[in-house]
Each structure stands twice: as C-alpha cells, then as structure tokens.
Amino acid sequence: MDATVVADEVSRTFGPVRAIDRLTLEIPQGVIYGLLGPSGSGKTTFLRMVVGALRPSEGQLLVLGRTMPDRAVAARIGYMPQTAALYPDLTLRENLAFFGRIYGLRGRRKLEERVEQLASDLGLLGWVDQQLYRFSVGMLQRASLACALLHQPELLVLDEPTVGLDPVLRRSLWAHFRQLAEQGKTLLISTHTMDEAGRCDLLGFLRGGRLLASDTPAALRRQTGQADLEDAFLALAGQPGIPVGEL
C-alpha cells in the first residue's frame, strides 16, 4: 500500500531562515507518526506543508498521492492547528455544523449524530450549545480536535493536540487516536513531550529543521543505546545533558 505522506528532500525557507531543511520521510497508512522536537524545530512548518497551508520551497511532498498543496485532497485531511482557530461567538454545535457543511457532510440528522458522537468521545457533552468563549483552554483544544475529526478524514494532522490537558483526558485522547489508527486512519502528531512520543508507532526527531532520525521508538532506543527516548533524542542531537526544551 502507498504511504500516506511521502516527503522527498523537502525544504521550506522564510527569507534567510531555513525552517525545514531537506526533510525526507515516509508515513505509511494506519500509523501514528509522532514528530518530536523543541519549539522552533520546524514541526508546525512541516505540518502546515502537509495540510497545504504552506508551499514547500524545494523538494516534493506527496500527501494521499497528490503533490501538495492540492485542494483535491483537502476533504480527506483533518487539521488541528496549535491554536483553537474556531469562532468564539458561535456554539460548539454551530462551529461543527459550519465545518461539516464546508467539508460536504450532507443531511441535518447525520450531522447532528456526528456532533453528539464527537462531543461524547471528547467529553464535551453538555457543552454543545455553549458559545466557545466560555470554554477553558483544554475544552477549546478538544473542540478544535472535534472539528478536525468531524468529516472522518483519512489523514489527521494534529499540532500539539494535548497541550493544556489534564493527564486523564490526555490518556483518553490517546486511546481515541489509537482507535482511529486501528480503523486505518493515519495520524501525524507533533509533540514535545516524551511520554506522548512513546505512544507513537513511528517517531521523527526534528531539530533546527532537520530530521535527525525516523523510526519506531524501540528502534530509536536501540540505535542510540539509550533506555529513555529523551536520552535517545539528546544522543542523536549530539548534545548529551541538555534538556530537550532548551535545544
């Protein structure tokens, strides 16, 4: 089966800054791929290229078989940006209904069922008819995730989806992600926390726009001879002893 995301020597520059530097990787269908790296390492830039919000400066980026950016695959991708990026004056139901119509979900009843289902999955039942400006950060994150999941995309691109969530909720979300992967969906998730990185099927270490390694967590540990993913990252970055957050 074809890989869902294929990046071949993809670079992205902003003026003199090279945010992504000749990145090559493949993400097969049905896996959770974690992109691990400190802030400023290029995670968001890469995710934005994958969803078609940014054009690669060099190289080729294939997503679901199409060279990005290409609107033809837009309906097959779900994107959750780092900030909620929803409409605070509208209720959760109205936000979801809006994105539902944009993504071509037909039928009021079908849409309503989907809204209830997502609200229940994400612990937002009882909040469906509240305007989003009343939501806490964690609730906004989940509302934003609901919008990304709504149209049941084949590829889910989530930019730090669990920031600001309590551990219980975080765990339940990861269980949900796993379920989606088992259904054959592909998930590309950026994170900077090690415990989340450990839950991914495949992991890419990103630093300064360059992909230091891309493999299963176990293989990365083995390859670096480290028992801990953080140590593995540090070993690959060639700077042992510096916490990831300061890299």
Rule CB under 8 A: which residues touch another protein? 48, 51-55, 69, 71, 74-75, 77, 79, 81-87, 89-90, 94, 98-99, 101-104, 131, 147
**Which residue, 98 or 230, is less far from another protein as judged by CB?**
98
Smallest gap from Cβ 52 to another protein, in A, equals 5
**Which residue, 14 or 222, is less far from another protein as judged by CB?**
14
Smallest gap from Cβ 168 to another protein, in A, equals 27
Q: Which candidate, 31, 165, 143, places its Cα nearest to that of 87?
A: 143
**Which residue, 103 or 178, is less far from another protein as judged by CB?**
103
Smallest gap from Cβ 109 to another protein, in A, equals 17
Smallest gap from Cβ 145 to another protein, in A, equals 13
Question: For residue 75, with 0-12 CB atoms within 10 Å meaning exposed, 13-18 middle and 19 or more buried, which class applies?
Answer: middle
**Which residue, 104 or 225, is less far from another protein as judged by CB?**
104
**Which residue, 46 or 79, is less far from another protein as judged by CB?**
79
Smallest gap from Cβ 116 to another protein, in A, equals 20
